[in-house]
């Protein structure tokens, strides 16, 4: 009897030995471990991203003394909007903000319109040298943006476009347009041409087919190109640094650096409140337009 | 019967009124092939010529000249700028090595962290909309603002990052993270990764969403383990998007300028003087525009060559090609 049960026992042991450790754990427990690993991973990465953003915004509401204190307390002792009042009434920041808004709107309108029309034309109309153009577009991407600004600086100064909004709008567009055009191109490839053909069979002109059939379907792509060009224009530093030399034409990024970092002492209260203002549109965009943002950025990789 | 069917009118023409006809005429006009090309492709082509082709060709022309920023004269020097930087200037080769290091470290971190985050997000969990909003946010945050914020938080006197580490007992005392020549470049690369991992995440996540769940179910029924499902279903689907994002990210990181310029400029002992920073200094501090243009053309040629090689060696599926 006892030998028999020993046999059974040893068989079970042998069997168990061949199962990976992970499979020996019961299913509910395995699930629990997997879930907790997932939650821990998600929480850590979320905190790493969220905390710096919160810290910048929170510090902007602290009195200047608290902003540059050694060993800062994590919970603010007092809250004030002094930094923002000083920013908007006692500095050039409103001018910088105005310039940034103008330039950003210009880039978004220009790039979105041109990329949408161009993307449509390139997928629907048979044009000679289409491939050459496409390759050319991609190769312009391999030219360093900082160094693109140098010939632009020379050219723009000769035609009087240095220190103009138009000049900066064109310069930033040069950085976004290749990617935007390429995204719209891929997007229209995914819009079946047969839909437009059937509209044309039903009596619509080619233009109507574009306006009433292709455009509405491509709307998510258009919105995501708009978000992308917004992100480039709103955050631009390099082009503005080189092409805008007059302090009244600076944008928020170069302006914060020029106004609050100069004179040996950094005015952190102003830097932080200015940064907090610059963070508002990205926060709104990512929450309300998340769907388009993700959709658009991936158009290139989707089948 | 058949003829009858064909005669059924497909458009209701009875409601057409005069202004409508005029609108139709405009639409007809806009639909002609030449006009269509003129309205769609021509504007974008002209814009390209104005803001990309022309400045780039200008830079190529400038690279054969000696030009000073405030003097209008161009003195022809032939290939002198090129021979100087390709063979004579050891510093340029050093900056090139730093550029490659920065790009390689950055892209590796972005791809690993970005893909991991996308895979985590592909599960179901509470507050998912909020969490994904947070995780995709960094890519929209202006790099300069990130640099200002990090400069504040990692400040050696009052930076919260330093003091948290000190209070937790990880550091003995606060330190200036950007002042050490051995690590400054890597610290900047890590700070920059805080933003740019999100590009990889977004693209990979969207691709993951488009994998049909049937593929996983079939694999499961066939007895594939979680690891096998990842290896044989997920990874092959991600190949195309990873190919693309690595190319895009490498080009961006190789030419990264703003965050390095704001945080460290050329860095302690020139340790963060990557090629574009070097070219910027030559252009605007030494005001030798011709030499800076030559460096741009050299960098452009290197990157274009590397990109062609990348395409040629890895041969991606047609979906990521531009044709």
Radius of gyration of chain A (CA): 28
> Which of A267-281, B77-91, B155-169 has maximum average pLDDT?
A267-281
CA B209 to CA B211: how far, in whole Å? 6
Q: How high is the pLDDT of residue B20? A: 63
Closest CA to B105 of B180, B186, B179: B186
Q: Is residue B75 part of a domain?
A: no
Tokens in use for A267? 């005015």
Percent of residues, chain B, with pLDDT higher than 70: 90
Q: Where are the alpha helices (DSSP H) in A61-129?
A: 64-67, 82-89, 93-124
Q: Is residue B249 part of a domain?
A: yes
> Which of A245-259, B34-48, B57-71 has maximum average pLDDT?
A245-259
Q: How high is the pLDDT of residue A189? A: 83
Confidence of residue A89 (pLDDT cuts 50, 70, 90): very high
Q: How high is the pLDDT of residue B35? A: 82
- What is the topology classification, in CATH, of domain A84-297? MetI-like fold (1.10.3720)
CA A155 to CA B56: how far, in whole Å? 11
Range scoring the smallest mean pLDDT among A123-127, B144-148, B266-270, B299-303: A123-127
Range scoring the smallest mean pLDDT among A7-11, A30-34, B148-152: A7-11
Q: Is the pLDDT higher at B271 or at A124? A: B271
Partners of A298 on chain B (C-beta within 8 Å) are 202-203, 205-207, 241
pLDDT in tens, A178-211: 888 888 888 888 788 888 888 888 888 888 888 8
Q: Is residue B160 part of a domain?
A: yes
Q: At what angle do helices A93-124 and A219-234 cross, to 10 degrees?
A: 140
Tokens in use for B22? 């005029």
Percent of residues, chain A, with pLDDT higher than 90: 41
Q: How many CA atoms lie within 13 A of B90 on its CB side?
A: 0
In this structure, what is the dihedral angle of CA atoms B183, B186, B190, B191, given to the nearest 10 degrees?
70
**Residue A258 confidence (pLDDT) above 50:** yes
CA B297 to CA B59: how far, in whole Å? 8
Q: Is residue B36 part of a domain?
A: no
Of the candidates A39, A182, A203, the beta carbon closest to that of B10 is on: A203
Residues in chain B: 323
Q: Is residue B315 part of a domain?
A: yes
Q: How many CA atoms lie within 13 A of A218 on its CB side?
A: 31
Looking at the structure of chain B, the number of domains it has is: 1
Partners of B153 on chain A (C-beta within 8 Å) are 52, 55-56
Q: Please, what sign has the CA dihedral across residues B82, B87, B91, B92? A: positive
Q: Please, what sign has the CA dihedral across residues A145, A148, A150, A153? A: negative
C-alpha pair distances (Å), B34 with each of A126, B15, B25: 11, 30, 16
**Residue A12 confidence (pLDDT) above 70:** no
Domain ranges of chain A: 2-60, 84-297
SS3 B37: helix
In this structure, what is the dihedral angle of CA atoms B29, B34, B38, B41, given to the nearest 10 degrees?
120
Best mutation site among A142, A221, A225 for testing chain B: the one with the most B CBs within 10 Å? A142
Which residue from A minimizes the CA distance to B158? Answer: A70
Average pLDDT of the segment spanning A77-96? 92
Task: Note whether A279 and A57 are within 8 A (CB).
Answer: yes
Task: Note whether B152 and B159 are within 8 A (CB).
Answer: yes
Greatest CA span in chain A, whole angstroms? 104
pLDDT in tens, B247-296: 889 999 999 999 999 999 888 989 999 999 999 999 888 888 889 999 99
Range scoring the smallest mean pLDDT among A195-204, B64-73, B143-152: B64-73
DSSP, residue by residue, B9-21: -SS--TT--HHHH
Q: Show the CA angle centred on residue A243, arms to residues A117 and B267, nearest 5°.
A: 115
Confidence of residue A7 (pLDDT cuts 50, 70, 90): low
CA B48 to CA A111: how far, in whole Å? 11
Confidence of residue A157 (pLDDT cuts 50, 70, 90): confident
Average pLDDT of the segment spanning B62-75? 81
Q: Which of A 117-156 lie inside 8 A of B, CB atoms?
A: 117-118, 120-122, 125, 127, 131, 133-148, 150-152, 154-155
Question: Domain holding B125: CATH number?
Answer: 1.10.3720.10
Which residue from B minimizes the CA distance to A154? Answer: B69
Q: Is residue B307 part of a domain?
A: yes
Average pLDDT of the segment spanning A46-74? 89
Q: Are strands B74-76 and B65-67 parallel, antiparallel or unpaired?
A: antiparallel
**Residue B99 confidence (pLDDT) above 90:** yes
Q: How high is the pLDDT of residue B240? A: 83
Q: How high is the pLDDT of residue B34? A: 80
Contact B280 A50 (CB under 8 A): no
Q: How high is the pLDDT of residue B37? A: 82
Which residue from A minimizes the CA distance to B297? Answer: A143
Q: How high is the pLDDT of residue A281? A: 93
Task: Note whether A87 and A150 are within 8 A (CB).
Answer: no
Contact B206 A301 (CB under 8 A): yes
Give B195's contacts (C-beta < 8 A, 6+ positions apart): B138, B139, B141, B143, B146
Range scoring the smallest mean pLDDT among A19-23, A43-47, B31-35: A19-23
Q: How high is the pLDDT of residue B9? A: 45
Task: Note whether B251 and B168 are within 8 A (CB).
Answer: no
Task: Note whether A186 and A218 are within 8 A (CB).
Answer: no
Structural domain harbouring B280: 90-320
Q: How high is the pLDDT of residue B5? A: 44
Which residue from A minimizes the CA distance to B25? Answer: A205
Closest CA to B132 of B141, B144, B123, B142: B123
Q: How high is the pLDDT of residue A300? A: 45
Partners of A131 on chain B (C-beta within 8 Å) are 323
Confidence of residue B186 (pLDDT cuts 50, 70, 90): very high
Q: How high is the pLDDT of residue B73? A: 79
CA B268 to CA B313: how far, in whole Å? 38
Q: How high is the pLDDT of residue B6? A: 44
SS3 B66: strand
Average pLDDT of the segment spanning B51-71? 86
**Residue A4 confidence (pLDDT) above 80:** no
Greatest CA span in chain B, whole angstroms? 94
**Residue B199 confidence (pLDDT) above 80:** yes
Count residue pairs from A and B with Cβ separation < 8 A: 289
SS3 B99: helix
Closest CA to A270 of A69, A100, A92, A102: A92
Q: How high is the pLDDT of residue A3? A: 54
Which residue from B minimizes the CA distance to A128? Answer: B37
Best mutation site among B6, B27, B41, B110 for testing chain A: the one with the most A CBs within 10 Å? B41
Q: How high is the pLDDT of residue B40? A: 84
Q: Is the pLDDT higher at A144 or at A252? A: A252
DSSP, residue by residue, B252-290: HHHT--HHHHHHTTT-GGGTT--HHHHHHHHHHTS-BHH
CA B205 to CA B79: how far, in whole Å? 47
Q: Is the pLDDT higher at B218 or at A68? A: B218
Place of tokens 């990181």: B253
CA A84 to CA B167: how far, in whole Å? 31
Q: Please, what sign has the CA dihedral across residues A208, A213, A214, A217? A: positive
pLDDT in tens, B2-49: 444 444 444 444 444 456 677 777 777 777 778 888 888 889 899 998
**Residue A293 confidence (pLDDT) above 80:** no
Q: Is residue B70 part of a domain?
A: no
Tokens in use for A283? 């926060």
Arithmetic mean of pLDDT over chain A: 85
Task: Note whether B198 and B207 are within 8 A (CB).
Answer: no
Task: Note whether A230 and A109 are within 8 A (CB).
Answer: no
Tokens in use for B237? 């689907």
Contact B51 A118 (CB under 8 A): no
Q: How high is the pLDDT of residue B316? A: 64
Closest CA to B99 of B303, B274, B306: B274
Tokens in use for A88? 């908007």
């Amino acid at each position: 009897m006892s030998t028999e049960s020993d046999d059974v026992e040893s068989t079970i042991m042998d069997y168990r030995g061949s199962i990976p450790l992970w499979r020996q754990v019961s299913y509910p427990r395995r699930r629990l471990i997997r879930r907790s690993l997932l939650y821990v991973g998600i929480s850590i990465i979320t905190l790493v991203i969220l905390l710096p953003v919160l810290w910048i915004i929170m510090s902007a509401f602290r009195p200047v003394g608290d902003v540059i204190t050694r060993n800062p307390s994590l919970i603010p002792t007092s809250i004030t909007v002094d930094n923002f009042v000083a920013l908007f009434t006692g500095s050039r920041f409103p001018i910088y903000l105005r310039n940034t808004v103008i330039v950003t709107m210009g880039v978004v309108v220009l790039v979105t319109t041109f990329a949408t029309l161009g993307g449509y034309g390139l997928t629907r109309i048979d044009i000679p040298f289409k491939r050459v153009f496409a390759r050319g577009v991609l190769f312009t991407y391999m030219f360093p943006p900082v160094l693109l600004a140098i010939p632009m600086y020379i050219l723009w100064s000769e035609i009087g476009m240095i220190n103009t909004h138009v000049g900066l709008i064109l310069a930033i567009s040069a950085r976004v347009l290749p990617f935007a055009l390429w995204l719209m191109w891929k997007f229209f490839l995914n819009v079946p041409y047969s839909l437009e053909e059937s509209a044309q069979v039903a009596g619509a002109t080619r233009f109507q087919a574009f306006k009433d059939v292709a455009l509405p379907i491509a709307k998510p792509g258009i919105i995501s190109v708009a978000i992308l060009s917004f992100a480039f224009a709103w955050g631009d530093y390099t082009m503005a640094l080189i092409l805008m030399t007059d302090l009244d034409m600076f944008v928020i990024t170069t302006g914060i650096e020029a106004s609050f970092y100069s004179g040996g002492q950094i005015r952190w209260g102003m830097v932080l409140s200015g940064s907090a203002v610059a963070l508002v549109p990205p926060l709104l965009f990512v929450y309300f337009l998340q769907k388009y943002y993700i959709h658009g950025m991936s158009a290139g990789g989707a089948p | 019967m058949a003829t009858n069917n064909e005669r059924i009118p497909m458009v209701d023409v009875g409601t057409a009124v005069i202004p409508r006809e005029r609108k139709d005429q405009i639409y007809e006009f806009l639909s002609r092939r030449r006009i269509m090309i003129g309205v769609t492709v021509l504007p974008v082509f002209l814009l390209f010529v104005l803001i990309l082709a022309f400045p780039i060709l200008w830079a190529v022309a400038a690279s054969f000249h000696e030009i000073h920023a405030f003097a209008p004269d161009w003195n022809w020097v032939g290939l002198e700028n090129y021979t100087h930087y390709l063979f004579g200037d050891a510093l340029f080769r050093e900056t090139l090595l730093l550029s490659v290091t920065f790009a390689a470290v950055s892209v590796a971190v972005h791809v690993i962290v970005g893909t991991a985050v996308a895979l985590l997000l592909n599960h179901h969990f509470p507050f998912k909309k909020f969490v994904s909003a947070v995780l995709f946010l960094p890519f929209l945050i202006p790099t300069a603002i990130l640099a200002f914020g990090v400069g504040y938080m990692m400040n050696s006197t009052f930076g919260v990052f330093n003091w948290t580490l000190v209070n937790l007992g990880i550091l003995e005392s606060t330190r200036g993270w950007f002042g050490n020549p051995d690590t400054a470049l890597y610290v900047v690369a890590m700070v920059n990764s805080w933003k740019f991992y999100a590009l990889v995440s977004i693209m990979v996540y969207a691709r993951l969403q488009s994998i049909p769940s049937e593929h996983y179910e079939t694999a499961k029924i066939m007895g594939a383990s979680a690891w096998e499902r990842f290896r044989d279903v997920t990874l092959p689907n991600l190949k195309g998007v990873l190919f693309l994002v690595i190319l895009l990210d490498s080009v961006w990181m190789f030419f990264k300028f703003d965050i390095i310029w704001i945080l460290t400029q050329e860095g302690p002992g020139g340790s963060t003087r990557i090629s574009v920073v070097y070219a910027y200094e030559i252009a605007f501090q030494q005001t030798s525009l011709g030499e800076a243009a030559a460096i741009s053309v050299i960098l452009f040629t290197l990157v274009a060559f590397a990109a062609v090689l990348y395409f040629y060696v890895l041969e991606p599926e047609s979906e990521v090609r531009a044709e």
